[in-house]
Amino acid sequence: MPREDRIADVARRKSTGLRTRDRRSFYLDSDLTDQLDKQYKALEHELYPRELTKSEFLEALFEYSLDHIEDIKARVSDATT
């Protein structure tokens, strides 16, 4: 299968319902990503048999964070002073 077809296939699979997903790269602290991986696996196990993708997990974390942006601002402000 040509590369373009593979990319289109992955994009098609990643698009669910009303959401369209974009591929982005972020450089994050290694310890933080290890914690994210552990928490994702624990939650996925706890929610079994419901399937939880890592994208859904991260989107839920981001959405929750955006709903609590004032707390995020305070945390970031405290870290930079």
- pTM value is 0.70
Please report, for residues 49, 51, 52, the alpha-carbon distance to residue 45 in angstroms, rounded to integers and kept in the order given: 8, 9, 9
Compute the distance between CA of residue 73 and CA of residue 51 in angstroms, rounded to an integer: 32
Each residue of 40-61: b (16+ CB within 10 Å) or e? beeebeeeeeeebeeeebeeee
Residue 47 identity: L
pLDDT for 17: 59
Domain with 37, as residue range(s), is 28-81
Tally of domains in the chain: 1
pLDDT in tens, 27-42: 999 999 999 999 999 9
Residue 61 lies in a domain: yes
**Residues in Cβ contact with 68 at an 8 Å cutoff, skipping those fewer than 6 apart:** none
Residue 14 lies in a domain: no
pLDDT for 20: 78
Residue 78 lies in a domain: yes
